Structure 1
Amino acid sequence: MNETTQSQDALRSEARIAHGALHRLRQDLFVDAFAFRPLPPLEDAKISRWVPWLPERLRRWARWLPHLTVGFFSVLVFLAGLADSGPGSLQGLLAAGFAVLVAAAPLLTLFRPVGAYWLSLFAAVVGGFTDVAFSPSASVFGNSAFPTLLAVMVLVVLRTRPRLAVEMWLVTFGVAGALTVLIGGDSGDLPPVAVFCGAVLIAAAAVRAWREERRQVVETQSATQEERTRRTLLEERALIARELHDVVAHHMSVIAIQAEAAPYRVKDTPPELATSFATIRENAVAALAELRRILGVVRSADPDAFAESDPEAPQPTLSSLDSLLDSVRSAGLVVEAVVTGSPRPLPQGVELSAYRIVQEGLSNALRHSPGAEARVEISYVLGGLGVRIVNGAPSRLAKPSPGAGHGVLGMRERVQMLGGEMTAEPTEDGGFEVAAFIPVANTAGQTKTGGNRS
């Protein structure tokens, strides 16, 4: 009983496999066989990679190289067919018509690949039947239409999917075997021709599969790069959120303390004024609590991601620039700093962002341009602050960097957050330049004379 059940299950499994194979064969070769699927021109990136020496004018025409190649092959097939026809006779006209039929199939692969296969198979059947009808000892593969059929099958496999190689091979040699039996032709060359065509189609399917795999790898790499950029951007925003929290929290704490102490500085404070100060303090304390809560959400995935050696230390400003310059000089970078304009008090967020931009720019110069000299320019101008970091070409080969390669992205995020503009691009001498402008409203304050910082 068990053996009978197992046998029935095996038969059902085989039937399902056969049904699935027939269904795929029907979907691939019969459903919408003549659907319009034009071959797109080559991408400019591929042309630049394959023939970088080609002039720009010719690259526009090089995009159509596959179409021109197939068209040239069709012309050769047509001319070869005309060479076998005699001029002026009925047989010559029929031969010329047959040459047009055979030559049209390769050209059709550019627009309707599966339909081109059926057209080429029909031409091969007509040619084989005609040859055997006039010469019973002839082979169905002896006419010129069969090599063209093989070329068409290769083109179809390269244009569609690898499994069509097996499906077209089965249909082609099934039809060839049936035609040989019906007209009584010579079947001695059928097995070797089938093996040869199978090898050619397997090679074409392997090339198609390799191209598809490579395309998927490129897409995966692009998606990975986009995800890495997105993650780096989120990390940079989280870092900015923490730094701005420290800045805003300081000011809100001052507001709360001042509001709490104000009633005690006035004798006989009116109840309305005391209530107003109490409301100000309550709102400041509530704002501090909300800031801490938001920061906790931002840093909840990794609480120590942005922890520093001294978390209680104040955030750096442009007044700390000298210590930064001393640090990078001790690391081997020759750097000059120039301050132009009249330095004035700036919002702490602007000072912090400008410091971080200079820090990242000098770090990039150390990392990517070893042996080069750098220059930092801080410009206090009307309506804002200008920051420029430029370095020369490296004097030696840079070592592989462990960084994520998104320092410029972080700088740009800081500048955009403050409504500014930034450019980051290579210089003509092989160096790199980062220039940013951060708008700042004019504020009254003490001024100092600008000049060179050594």
Structure 2
Amino acid sequence: MSDQTRTAKAAAPAETETALVFSVLKTVHQDLFQDAFASRPLPPRPEPRPGGRLHRLPAGIRHRTRWTPHALIGATAMFAFLIGLTKGMGFGSLGGAVTFTTCCLAAAPIALVLLRPVGAYWISYSGVLLSLLHGQEWAAMLSLLCHVVVMVLVVLRTRPRLAAEMWSVTLMSGSLLSALTPGTESSDLPQFAVASAVLLVAAGAVRAWREERRHVVASETVKEQERAQRTVLEERATIARELHDVVAHHMSVIAIQAEAAPYRVDQTPPELATSFATIRENAVAALTELRRILGVVRSGDPDPFAETDPEAPQPTLADLDTLLESVRSTGLDAEAVVTGAVRPLPQGVELSAYRLVQEALSNVLRHSPGASARVEVAHVLGGLGLRIVNGSPDRPATPSPGAGHGVLGMRERVQVLGGEMTAGPTDDGGYEVAAFLPVHTPASESSADGGGAAGAGDGKEVAA
């Protein structure tokens, strides 16, 4: 091995250590010196969460509790000032002005932490050095105790790594001052080093825990918003698939009637036959476009056609008895009450009403075991009213997997139809879901649909 190689290998660790030292010094400079006296006011605490103990207080008192940390820090600073003033006046060696100045340098930085935390540390640090130089034991003790309080508050307000930086700067300069100035008070430095180290480690741990907790809360909030958004998108995709079946039925009827109409009239005028042919072509084109758009919606599903019977018609309120029999077989005591004059409704309203009842009963099974359920369907003027209410459960519910956004999906269905919905707990410990689905279809439209469906067998079948 050549001498140059040995020299290079010996120099590499030295360069690494030098870079590490410069990196540490740069970090200390950024934390303790750069913008040390910049204004960083402590904001008030957030409003108490609904349901908590503080939220039950009156609004005025609840608002004042947001400033509790500021009041505690201010009270601590005032207490330290008064204690120091009392102790200082008990010794005849110091004048009133000197005692007042010493107490201010010790106690004022505690309150200054609320506005300029790093600057408060340097002012408190200066007070410690002056008290050590002066040689009065009570002044040194007061300054050291207040300095520990200041460092703990600075760590809680900024970041955990400042604990090691402030502790090192304070101890090194204090030890150096004691060594260079024989008359300074240094007997308390070892006890101060141990006690401050323990307190600063605890403060750093608390600060790190708070940051981690804040990060977890923020992450959970983002995840909850993403789950809610995904639930809305999934519900919209389901609605799009179901509306496809509804619209495709009517478009098929139009296409069939348009194709069959010329054969029902003797000597059909060419212009009328051309119009019917155009209607049929447009209906078939609309069905093709509808199916193409549905394919785009279904492309995001992992298994979009994983249904028991893909060709089965979409359910309506006429299938409500079958749904109730299905849930009764699981042990749920459910009943249905229908009021008002039952009349034909648009397929979209019928389908959405059935899905609302289905989801509400599923929620009863999952979250209210042993409770009874009641389904009320009211055919009223201008729309359809739904109310699904259950009693209180007789045993705790078993945790079930899933995002837990069934109510959000029901709201999405109601909003698509321009209706209104409310959901919430009842006074007896149960849960209630109430919705109103408006119906704007004239009565003549239902009769026209019936006539079209009756004559659909005379033409060719058009499948969507």
Deviation at 1:194, TM superposition (A): 2.6
Task: Name the counterpart of 2:123.
Answer: 119
Contact 1:47 1:62 in 2 (8 A): no
Letter in 2 for 1:383: G
| Partner residue of 1:21 out of 10, 21, 24 | 24
1:367 aligns with 2:366: yes
User: What does residue range 38-49 of structure 1 map to in structure 2 within 5 Å?
Assistant: 38-45=41-48, 49=52
What code does the residue aligned with 2:159 have? R
Q: Which residue is equivalent to 1:65?
A: 68
In structure 1, the gaps of 5 or more residues are 133-137, 448-454
Aligned to 1:277: 276
Quickly say closer, same or farther: Cα 1:314–1:102, change in 2 above 3 A: same
Q: 1:33 to 1:391 in 2, by over 3 A?
A: same
Aligned to 1:156: 154
1:397 is aligned to 396
Task: For residue 283 of structure 1, give the secondary structure of its aligned residue in structure 2.
Answer: helix
1:389 to 1:47, Cα distance in 2 relative to 1, 3 A: closer
Contact 2:392 2:430 in 1 (8 A): yes
C-alpha deviations, 1:306-338, integer Å up to 9, x for none? 632111000001111111111112222222211
Q: Residue 432 of structure 2: SS of its match in structure 1?
A: strand
* Residue of structure 2 aligned with 1:33, choices 32, 36, 40: 36
Q: Pick one of 70, 75, 94 that aligns with 2:78.
A: 75
CA distance in 1, matches of 2:302, 2:171: 68
Matches within 5 A, 1:96-175: 96-131=100-135, 142-175=140-173
- In 1, the alpha carbon distance for the partners of 2:375 and 2:169 equals 73
Structural mapping, 1:160-239, within 5 Å: 160-184=158-182, 185=184, 190-191=189-190, 193-239=192-238
Give the structure 2 partner of residue 262 of structure 1.
Answer: 261
TM-score, normalised via structure 1 length: 0.90
- 1:12 matches 2:20: no
Counterpart residue type for residue 106 of structure 1 = I
C-alpha spacing 1:286/1:219, structure 2 compared with 1 (3 Å):
same
Say if 2:99 is the partner of 1:95. yes
Q: 1:103 Cα deviation (Å)?
A: 1.1
Distance 1:10 1:280 in 2: 86
Whole-Å separation in 2 of the counterparts to 1:124 and 1:368: 62
**Residue 230 of structure 2 aligns to which amino acid in structure 1?**
R
Give 1:347-386 correspondences, 5 Å limit: 347-386=346-385
CA separation in 2, counterparts of 1:207 and 1:394? 41
Deviates more, 1:47-56 or 1:174-183: 47-56
Is 329-338 or 209-218 further displaced after alignment?
329-338
For the residues of structure 2 that align with 1:114 and 1:216, how far apart are their CA atoms? Answer: 24
Q: CA deviation at 1:385?
A: 0.9
**Offset at residue 117 of structure 1 (A):** 0.4
Q: Could you give the per-residue CA deviations for residues 318-374 of structure 1, whole angstroms, max 9, x where no partner exists?
A: 111111111112222222211111111111000000000011111111222222221
Cα distance change, pair 374–281 in 1 and its aligned pair in 2 (3 A): same
Letter in 1 for 2:235: E
CA distance in 2, matches of 1:46, 1:174: 45
Instruction: Give the distance between the partners of 2:302 and 2:281, measured in 1 at CA.
Output: 28
What are the superposed Cα offsets for residues 33-77 of structure 1, whole Å, 9 maximum, x if unpaired?
111111122223369757677666543332222111111111111
Determine if contact 1:424/1:434 at 8 Å carries over to the other structure. yes
Stretches of 4+ aligned residues off by more than 6 angstroms: 87-90
* 8 Å Cα contact 1:390/1:432 also seen in 2: yes
Higher mean C-alpha deviation, range 60-69 or range 307-316: 60-69
Give yes or no for contact 2:128–2:140 (8 Å, CA) kept in 1. Answer: no
Distance 2:287 2:55 in 1: 59
State the shift of 1:187 in Å: 5.4
Please, which runs of 5 or more residues in structure 2 have no aligned partner? 448-464
Q: CA contact under 8 A between 1:358 and 1:376: conserved in structure 2? A: yes
Task: Call closer, same or farther: CA 1:325–1:303 in 2, change over 3 Å.
Answer: same
Matched, 1:411 2:414: no
CA distance in 1, matches of 2:169, 2:376: 75
How does 1:336-351 map onto structure 2 within 5 Å? 336-351=335-350
SS at match of 1:269: coil
Distance 1:263 1:98 in 2: 108
Amino acid at match of 1:346: L
C-alpha deviation, 1:427, in angstroms: 0.7
Contact kept? 1:131, 1:143, Cα under 8 Å: no
CA distance, structure 2, for counterparts of residue 36 and residue 382 of structure 1: 64
User: Is contact 1:383-1:442 (8 Å) kept?
Assistant: no
- 1:217 is paired with a residue whose SS is helix
C-alpha contact (below 8 Å) 1:47/1:63 kept by paired residues: no
How far did 1:2 drift? 3.2
C-alpha displacement of 1:84: 3.0
Q: Return closer, same or farther for 1:196/1:3 CA change in 2, 3 Å cut-off.
A: farther
After superposition, the C-alpha distances for 1:246-295 in whole angstroms (9 at most, x for unaligned) are 11111111222222222222333333222222222222122112221221
1:429 aligned residue: 428
Worse-superposed segment, 238-247 or 141-150: 141-150
Range moving further from structure 2, 183-192 or 76-85? 183-192
Q: In the alignment, what sits opposite 2:455?
A: none
Cα gap change, 1:34/1:306 in structure 2, threshold over 3 Å: closer, same or farther? farther
Q: 1:423 deviation in Å?
A: 0.3
Q: CA deviation at 1:422?
A: 0.3
AA matched with 1:388: R
Q: 1:222 to 1:3 in 2, by over 3 A?
A: farther
**2: CA distance, partners of 1:152 / 1:121:** 9
CA distance in 1, matches of 2:45, 2:212: 18
Q: Which amino acid aligns with 1:347?
A: P
Structure-2-length-normalised TM-score: 0.88
Offset from partner CA, 1:366-408 (integer Å, 9 cap, x none): 2222222211111111111111111111122222223431111
